[in-house]
Structure 1
Amino acid sequence: MRYRKFEVEKLLYNNPLSNDKHVKDWILEGKAKISFKEDKLHLQNELDPEIHGDNAHWVYWAPKDFPDKIMIEWEFYPIEEPGLCMIFFAAKGENDLDLFDSSLPKREGKYPQYHSGSIDTLHLSYFRHKWEDERAFRTCNLRKSKGFHLVAHGADPLPPVEDARPPYFLKLIKYEGIVQFSINELPVLEWEDDGETYGPIYSGGKIGFRQMAPMKAAYANLKISQVTLVD
């Protein structure tokens, strides 16, 4: 498969995620433990999934809206599994509302609220080590919601925690209908939305990180840049 090439035009957002000041305006849906160690943002569940089930999972949103034609880059450090890590992007409320519009139903971290609720978003699961079948055959999955549509997947090169040598450099491009994802510059998937099969192409919106308990992970150096298609 031939992957399109993009060029950075300008940096829009640069957040080292190294202390609490860097996330003071971020919005947590659900309950999570948020801490900082060695200049990295550490995230883990607050609630026990054995007791609270799906209520133990959560989403952590950057408060800023981003335009279309962007590259999202971040460093990822898996610490403890099992679990699952995901990023939401181009996220808006239904009918083009702001994601946090007061008219939308409250969200508390339960997955159906995000894939089949009152928001439109793309979401990529890139560390799927939660369930036995996910660990047996590891993939990165791209979905378009509302509707939980699996639109693309690719082989996941990330190893189990005991074999990991982080940081892993993740790069996600959203350019009109094109979504492209790579890890350590290794292409993982590329998909182009036709704007018809699963509804119109999404444009700008918000970005958020999701973890499924009991996953523990750290993040650093989140950057969002405007890009242009060069090839």
Structure 2
Amino acid sequence: MKAVKLLIFMLACGASMGYEAKIWLTQDAVNSKGLSDTERADVSDFVSYDILDGPMNGSKALKAKETSLYFSGDLNVPISEEGTFMIWIRPHKTMRTGEGEPENTYEIAAVDKLFKFDLARSANKLDFRFSWENGTSRLNDMHILLPEIPGEEWMHFAFVWDAGDGIFNCYINGTPYLRKSRRLKQLDSEGGKKLIINTSQIAVSECRLYDKVIEESAIDHYIEQQNRGQMDDYLGIIPTRKFSLLGYFGSEDIEKELIFSSPLRAPKDVRGWVAEGPAQINFRKDGLVLESSVKDFDFATGHITFWCWANFPPNFLAEWNAQVLSENGACLVFFAARGQNGKDVYDASVDFRTGRSEDYTNGDIDLYSLSYYSDMPLGASRNASYLRLNSGRYLADLGIPGIDSKSNEVHKITLMRAGGQIQLAVDGWVIVDYQEDEERFGKLPTAGKIAFRQLKWTKVKYSDFKVYRLKKD
């Protein structure tokens, strides 16, 4: 087993020429103290770059000053069906989602005919993409979505895969991104033979590539203690705590007034509610069962939304029970939903909706969208709950997972919006805790409707939906 390790040498030249970079890739046996089989990498003769202190004690890093710097080296063995790729990166500044944020793509690394790793930055998301090449299904790709990444701090990515066993996951500063490995399908590749590294506004250091899966405990060997778990806040891993209304209007007590209640057990309980998409609604003694009549693998269509007819105030507490009855799917709640310019969601001037995601993410209604269950077919459970701000699909915050992907229990969901604070709890435990940010996202939704939202593979039983107005005594 061989590791590809980056070494950097620098030779000073005239001031007008910058530096001549002699960048070498060495095939260095793991745990070996010596170097062997050294070969010259492909690189421009003259580039402008900085040598920085790296993330590990005594290590160094490289960052281009102006234009991108690519360098590459041939691998002594092809990498394909099984492998591990590790790299340290450090963005030059903090990046986050928000209105008016720039759009860029930062290429980081690639193995020809196998994969590429980059960061796609836009106003609505920061997307670390690990994409398989050579015709492999896009369903195999991994997208690590974040609302913010820190500047001038080191991030360690370790991607591990074994197509034979269906293993695919990523560890970020030692923390697994997926709760369970993605169900990786056969890779349509004969194997990559060249490693390419790029640096532009993102510094790189300590790149390693292996032809086998490196276990989690061994990955930790390459991460010093002070860096372990340093990205957890950005990944939405918040401290576990019980939900409480106290403190969200300062030190004063909160009055909770019931303004809407429906047991969701009979047709009369949802009179005036509106379904969008191919929704099937059935009633049981213990609740309403909602599912889509379409369950194919076209991700664009077949999803459903079920709107409560009432408009609710900006400060509210909503409660309902949810039990997932399907093997796969995703549950979200829409809230504070209104047509743009203050119109009702069902105003005649608002565009007609059919349940497609684009109807809500890029349509003419504004709302918050919050996921609390996800176990997608052909993929894996997300490691986080997503809070998005629409229209625009801005990723505002991440939280810890909600309903477990294999749970068949009835769960109590609690959603609160009060004094600029948004919380969602499952069975009394907070999974999302977010402070609204008008400076970052512009004008925010105020009063509006609430809806249950499901992706097409989901079958869920709901019951006992209640909404309270929150105000100071």
Give the TM-score normalised by structure 1: 0.91
Task: In structure 1, give the amino acid aligned to 2:276.
Answer: E
Whether contact under 8 Å (1:130, 1:212) holds in the other structure is no
Q: Please state if 1:42 is matched with 2:285.
A: no
Q: 1:152 aligns with which of 397, 400, 404?
A: 397
Are the aligned partners of 1:18 and 1:220 in contact in 2 as well (CA < 8 Å)?
Answer: yes
CA drift of 1:210 comes to 0.8
- Stretches of structure 2 that go unaligned for 5 or more consecutive residues are 1-238, 247-253
1:29 Cα deviation (Å)? Answer: 1.0
CA distance in 2, matches of 1:21, 1:213: 25
Note the aligned Cα RMSD (angstroms). 2.0
Q: Does 1:81 align with 2:327?
A: yes
Corresponding position: 1:193 with 2:440: no
| Equivalent position of 2:367 in the other structure | 121
User: What is the deviation of 1:158?
Assistant: 1.9
Distance 1:53 1:154, change over 3 A: closer
**Is 1:106 the equivalent of 2:106?**
no
Equivalent residue of 1:80, what SS?
Answer: coil
Residue 270 of structure 2 corresponds to residue 27 of structure 1: no
- Name the % identity: 27
What residue number does 1:169 align with?
412
Q: Distance in 1 between matches of 2:379 and 2:244?
A: 31
CA distance in 2, matches of 1:122, 1:22: 25
1:206 matched to 2:449: yes
Answering whether residue 468 of structure 2 is matched by residue 225 of structure 1, we say yes
Q: CA deviation at 1:131?
A: 4.9
Q: Which residue of 1 aligns with 2:245?
A: 5
Q: Counterpart in 1 of 2:385?
A: 140
CA contact (8 A) 2:292 2:302 kept: yes
**1:124-175 CA deviation, whole Å, 9 max, x = no partner?**
011111255541x4321111111111111111142223xx252101100012
- CA distance in 1 between counterparts of 2:436 and 2:265 reads 35
Give the Å deviation of 1:229: 6.6
Give the TM-score normalised by structure 2: 0.46
CA distance in 2, matches of 1:13, 1:68: 14
Question: Structure 1 residue 4: deviation in Å?
Answer: 6.8
Cα pair 1:5 1:229 within 8 Å, conserved: no
Contact (CA 8 Å) 1:154, 1:188: kept in 2 or not?
yes
**More helix by proportion, 1 or 2?**
1
1:5: Cα distance to partner?
A: 3.0
Provide the rounded CA distance (Å) in 1 between the counterparts of 2:393 and 2:402. 24
Greater relative contact order (CA < 8 Å, ≥ 6 in sequence): 1
Distance 1:62 1:197 in 2: 29
Moved more, 84-93 or 174-183: 174-183
SS in structure 2 of the partner of residue 56 of structure 1: coil
Q: Which runs of 5+ in 1 are unaligned?
A: none
What CA distance in whole angstroms lies between the structure 1 residues aligned with 2:445 and 2:310?
17
Indicate if the aligned counterparts of 1:29 and 1:60 stay in contact, CA closer than 8 A: yes
